[in-house]
Every structure is written in C-alpha cells, then in structure tokens.
Chain A
Amino acid sequence: NAGVTQTPKFQVLKTGQSMTLQCAQDMNHNSMYWYRQDPGMGLRLIYYSASEGTTDKGEVPNGYNVSRLNKREFSLRLESAAPSQTSVYFCASSGEALYRENTEAFFGQGTRLTVV
C-alpha cells in the first residue's frame, strides 16, 4: 500500500534550471495538492486539483506550474528555479469530501529542494 509517492526525495538545482517534481497516489482520490513548507510559515498551498483535468491556484503559485496528468498523477514544475524556491515540497491527496467522517488528506514524504 504505497499511498502518496513523491520523487525525487532530494534535489539541488542551480538558479535558472528547471525541474519537475512527480507525485502519484494509488488511493483513487479525486483531489490532489502541492504544498511548500518553510520554517515558521507552516504549509502553504501552491496548487490544487479537485479532479482530473482541473487545477486551481493556491496561496503561492508564482514561479510554478502543474499538470494533472491523470487521476493518479499530479506534477509540479519549476521553469526557472530561484533561491526563494528552496523549500520542502509536499504532495497530498484526499477523497472527494474532506468534511466527511471517513476521509482525510494523505501526504507524501516530501522533496527537499535547494536552489543555489
């Protein structure tokens, strides 16, 4: 039972380089999320996908793009990395109705990205 799988776990980029963070879930969830975690700022939502084929901006979308490739996969792309994007990135997924008793958001283990 893999849950939410993120790759890679660690990455170092030079300023201006591009990369894609991959996320896949095997729980048949409709909703998927990308967050970044920075000290003292908690988790901030970058992008959100309520279902296959739809995406929506979160609190901090600038500098990022996403693709909901299919129901399982939701990728995050940095087109031109900047030092301000140094962070830990988490992917999550959830069932259709988070307000229901038996649903919750499940998180991947995170990707630690450093931009130098």
Chain B
Amino acid sequence: AQSVTQLGSHVSVSEGALVLLRCNYSSSVPPYLFWYVQYPNQGLQLLLKYTSAATLVKGINGFEAEFKKSETSFHLTKPSAHMSDAAEYFCAVTFNQGGKLIFGQGTELSVKP
C-alpha cells in the first residue's frame, strides 16, 4: 500500500539550531510529495512540494527538502530555527492525476530560546 511515515511525533531544537524533520514514503509508482505547516488553531499552509522537476526543493520561511529515491525519503530541513517556526508539520503524498492527498502523522516542532 502507498503511504507516508513521519519519524518522531515531537522534535525539540534550540533557537539557531538545525531543524530536521523526517518523512519516508512507500510507493510502487512515482510519488509527489508535500510539506505542510499548521500553526495553533489554524488550517494547513503549504511549505513546499516535490513534483519531479528538481530533487532539492526550496520553500517558504527558509525551509527546504530533498527527494531521495534510493532512501524513499523527503526530509525537511532549515539551517537555523526561529521561535516562529514552532508548529506542527505534516508530510503528504499523492501519486497520480486527481489522486488523493494522504498525510503522515505529523511532527510537532518546539523551539527553545
């Protein structure tokens, strides 16, 4: 079955430290991958997406993610965390035209001063 898994339900970093949020997918067909962010009591906002145009994808707020087919991964990184990055992050996948958008379990990011 096609799915996406986020490793770590909660990640805590210090302000200025590297942020690394992990996402792995399982698929027998080419995946299209997304990262969304959810701030408290709000809906979801797209950070970035992979559509096969480039394996390294840059998104908003300084985030980027690299698609690695050999590792079936699409990890999200940011070189230096800000307090404002504290939120829940979701990895999501779709597989074909008009396909369903399936989400991972989410990772809550905390940023310590």
Binding site for B on A (CB under 8 A): 4, 30-31, 33, 35, 40-45, 48, 50-51, 56, 58-59, 90, 92, 94, 96-101, 104-105, 107-110
Q: Among the listed A31, A42, A104, which residue makes an inter-chain contact with B46, where contact means beta carbons less than 8 Å apart? A: A104
Please give, as numbers and ranges, the residues of chain B lying within 8 Å of A110 by CB-CB distance: 42-43
Interfacial chain A residues near B113, Cβ < 8 Å: none
Q: How far is B42's CA from A54's CA once the two chains are assembled, in angstroms?
A: 28
| Prevailing SS type, chain B contact patch | loop
Q: Which residues of B contact A44 (CB under 8 A)?
A: 103
Given A43-B90, A45-B103, A99-B99, 11 more pairs with CB closer than 8 A: A33-B101, A42-B103, A43-B103, A90-B44, A98-B94, A99-B32, A99-B52, A101-B53, A105-B34, A105-B101, A110-B43
**Minimal beta-carbon separation of B76 from chain A (angstroms):** 15
Q: In whole angstroms, how far apart are the Cα atoms of A50 and B101 in the complex?
A: 11
Contact A97 B101 (CB under 8 A): no
Q: Number of B interface residues, CB 8 Å?
A: 26
Interface centre among B34, B44, B53 (most CB of A within 10 A): B44
Contact B51 A101 (CB under 8 A): yes
Q: A40-B9, A98-B32, A99-B51 are known contacts. Are A31 and B90 too (CB-CB below 8 A)?
A: no
Residues of A within 8 A of B43 (CB): 4, 90, 107-110
Query: Across the interface, do A42 and B90 meet the contact criterion of CB distance under 8 Å?
Result: yes
In the complex formed, the residue of A with least CB distance to B96 is A99
In the bound assembly, the distance between CA atoms of A48 and B44 in angstroms comes to 17
Return the chain B residue nearest A6 by Cβ.
Answer: B43
Which chain A residues border B94 with CB–CB below 8 Å?
Answer: 98-99
B103 partner residues in chain A, CB cutoff 8 A: 35, 42-45
Tell me whether B105 is interfacial, beta carbon within 8 Å.
Answer: yes
A90-B44, A109-B42 known; A45+B90 contact, CB < 8 A: no
CA distance A105 to B44 in the complex (A): 9
Closest A residue to B102 by beta carbon equals A45
Neighbour of B98 across the interface among A31, A43, A59, CB < 8 A = A31
> Can you list, as one digit per residue, whether each of B16-42 has a CB less than 8 Å from chain A (1) or not (0)?
000000000000000010100000001
